[in-house]
Chains A and B, each alone.
Chain A
Amino acid sequence: MTIDYHPNSNFNKRLVTFKIRSSKLLNIMWRQRWIYLLILPTVIYFLVFKYGPLWNAQIAFRDFKPLLGVFDSPWVGFKHFEAFVTSFYFNQLIGNTLIFSVAKLILGMPLAILCAIALHETWLKRFRTFVQTTIYLPHFLSWVIMFGVLLVVLSPGNGLVNDVIKRFGGEPIPFLTSPAHFRWVVILSDIWKETGWSTILYLAALLGISPELYEAAAVDSATPIQRIWYISLPGILPVIMLITLLRMGHILEAGFNQIFVLYSVPVYSVGDIIDTWVYRQGVLQFQFSLATAVGFFKGVIGLVLILIANKIAKRVAQQGLF
């Protein structure tokens, strides 16, 4: 296509500036061509392995037939979403998921803050390093290993806890298969595993508090408790708020790996969460569309929550999550 130049035409002036700008842009892009080449494999990776699943997710709105494939399966709109929301397991799944994530947050967080403050306060430097090294360790153990540890501690036959119960004349409790105890096992084992690791962020925040504040407190002969209450805690409050918001954004993540390893048929009613249900419906029962709809539902709510959390964080803590 040829373009006639009429210097007086406004349109052509804009066209010329556009051409100059775009040629500048092309110029910069050409100079950065190696960078594009460098990131190309990762971009392709993202398109295939992260956006490929997104494409497949449309089966949430279709009746997926493996023989027809994703794109040719019949369109059914929100049928699967309605089926899920109105089903009797909806309340149970949402309930269990929320109970686990909220309990882990509410019980785990104060303990982590307390540990961080204790580590920050202690005068025994070697001891502090030793405690830190030890309490970070469980974070790196997989839930399969944790399952083994829990069996050794909780099994009705030879578990440590049941040995103690038996010594005091009680009846051994099958913690992992008893609906009355299973939730506590899930919540407390997660706290045992992750509390130490989560002290890192609080500890970093504590170390960031200006030493002058503590010196002033010492001059005013503040008691240790006053020092913690009036300096340490307010000092790490922004971090506490940020982490709480982040966790609220992930409130539907109740810990799939943990539940998957620990639960069994007798405790499904108190242990089943959205993710484990999606796995069973989709992979084991071949209800691909229904399971995808539930996963999609969870993903959308998660996205909305994290965006809200980010907005609040920006307003309250003057700092976004991402």
Chain B
Amino acid sequence: MLRVRTRDAIAFQIGVAIFLSIILFIILIPLWRVIVTAFVPLDTYTREGIPFFLAPWDWTVEAFRQLITHSLFPRALLNSFIITGLGTIISLLLTIPMAYGLSVKNLPGRNFFMILILFTYLFSPGLIPVYLLITRMGLTDNFLAIILPPAVSVYNTLVMMRFFEGLPDELREAAALDGANEFQILWNVMLPLSKPIILTIGLFYAVYFWNEFFTPILYLNDHDLMPLPVLLRNILISASFNEYVEYDAFSSSALESLKAAGVLITMLPMLAIYPWIQRYFTKGTLVGGVKE
């Protein structure tokens, strides 16, 4: 954009920068407070509550140590990784072929399949019919109950379909002339060209499964199957000392610190993959996906 450095323009720039800084602080201050709460030592906490700033030598990882050594924690972490990993793989295995099939324009019945999936996007009968289906299939206390009902997102399928449609037809035709069947075309020609979109949509599925807490509460009664967000929720709603937090009069960190540490640990994998996701969504990969 053309930049004319008049006095007005510079005053306006300062205004814009101040506005953005305020927004930035509104986002950052609560997160900062979580960090300080998680690292505050117990004696500081009992003396003066939670300070806004904590001297560098006062930071303690006691709350994290207590949380990680908790009997339910390793199991919950493992469960979360299984649900996220398996869920993402199943989701992609169901999404990619469908998106590819629908991107073949002259496929007889393409409109039928389109309507078949679009209708489920537009009309949902709600929670109870799904709940009945899952419980009657005997999937309670099974990770598949968490993974299967949301496995294919219609939106993601359509975004991926648009991407496949954007690839030149000549590629398919040339491969077909060479005698490749559709499996080989998809696997050897299309997939290598679609790495960015597959990675992006895979990451969105992964984020979804990592964050999911309602269906685990709904379908998993066995404590050994509890994923991390559910454990975190149980810790967060424990107003006092109970079975979820091994906290007693001799505890070396405050209940608040344990809660905040739980929040940070659950956030951590998200923060780790965040730069990867960000690289793609700034390019506008996901903008304008659903449009017929």
Contact = CB atoms under 8 A, between A and B. Distances in A.
Interface string B10-43: 0011001101100110111111011001000000
B263 A149 contact: yes
Contacts of A153: 30, 33
A163 B50 contact: yes
A190 interface: no
B146 interface: no
B225 interface: no
A221 B20 CA distance: 25
Given A38-B186, A41-B97, A122-B17, A282 B131 contact: yes
B149 interface: yes
Interface in B188-237: 207, 210-214, 218, 229-230, 232-233, 236
Given A158-B49, A160-B33, A224-B8, A42 B129 contact: no
A75 interface: no
Contacts, number: 272
B106 interface: yes
Interface stretch (B54-62, B69-77, B243-251, B273-281): B273-281
B229 A134 contact: no
A42 to B, nearest CB: 4
A76 interface: no
Given A124-B17, A152-B260, A288-B132, A53 B125 contact: yes
A316 interface: no
Contacts of A46: 116-117, 120, 152
A57 B127 CA distance: 10
B128 A291 contact: yes
B131 A134 contact: no
Given A34-B181, A38-B182, A57-B129, A303 B123 contact: yes
A291 B175 CA distance: 52
A160 B282 contact: no
Interface in B78-121: 93-95, 97-98, 100-102, 104, 106-109, 113, 116-118, 120-121
A149 B120 contact: no
A131 B12 CA distance: 18
Given A192-B26, A320-B292, A35 B107 contact: yes
A138 B124 contact: no
A292 B106 CA distance: 39
B129 A56 contact: yes
Given A147-B236, A152-B37, A192-B30, 7 more contacts: A39-B102, A42-B98, A49-B133, A54-B125, A224-B12, A261-B213, A295-B126
Interface of B: 1-4, 6, 8-9, 12-13, 16-17, 19-20, 23-24, 26-31, 33-34, 37, 49-50, 93-95, 97-98, 100-102, 104, 106-109, 113, 116-118, 120-133, 148-149, 151-152, 181-183, 186, 207, 210-214, 218, 229-230, 232-233, 236, 256, 259-260, 262-263, 266-267, 270, 274, 277-278, 281-282, 284, 287, 290-292
